Amino acid sequence: MGQTFQLGLIGNPVAHSQSPKIFQKFFDNENLPNWKYNLFQLSHVDELPGLLNNNPNLVGFNVTVPFKQSIIPHLNTISNAAKSMNAVNTVKVIRNNGDIFLEGHNTDYFGFLETTKELPSKPQKAIILGNGGSANAVKAVLNDIEIPFITVSRNPTVGQISYGSLLDLTFNEPTLIIQTTPVGMSPKVDVSPVFPFQNLNENVVAIDLIYNPKETLFLKQFKNQGCFCLNGSLMLQTQAEMAWTIFKNNEKN
């Protein structure tokens, strides 16, 4: 049978993840029966060394909330793109004579970039809900495609606004709303971030990076106001494809 190659996802929670199904299709399509993908729910990122030692065939893993930024000090190197975003969602594990070398990447950027291509037209401005690792990838894309944005945070710093400030917003020009927090993700599907849904109109389009459920309570309220909406499914698929190209090179190591 040869060597087994293991991939996985670290985060908390992870039970909702569709990544095992996506990667299994990669394995099947390329006739790689020795590859497996597992979910690893960690209470704290400091549990990572134990995970690596207990899974000697682990050659790479994806990173989801809340570890996309806190993982960075545990890595030996990160790509320039990941460094500029201060966020990592893909880690290649290189093992050499008992030593473990961790290489961080960010493929969320490509996933969100593909998602923006599905919008009916280019918005004039954007509002990002959340300020974590996923939001950093979103900001990088918006900068590159030249859409100005503001960030909404629970603890706003310079250049950001609070959720309370949202209540006064009106939408008189084409505006993109991007929901980057885990609020509304399975299994807690009956909650939504604070937003002035009553002020929405046809100028507004929305992207929720959550993909499970396919339609969050947040997006339902946008659809009820006639807004064009996208979820995180395309972003998930695209970032996984990019991560797979990074991971599978380990078969030659």
| Catalytic residue numbers, as ranges | 68
Nearest to 184 by CA among 215, 160, 162: 215
Number of Cα atoms under 13 Å in the Cβ half of residue 102: 18
Give 40's contacts (C-beta < 8 A, 6+ positions apart). Answer: 8, 9, 10, 14, 51, 61
If phi > 0 it is left, if psi is from -120 to 50 it is alpha, else beta; for residue 54 that is: alpha
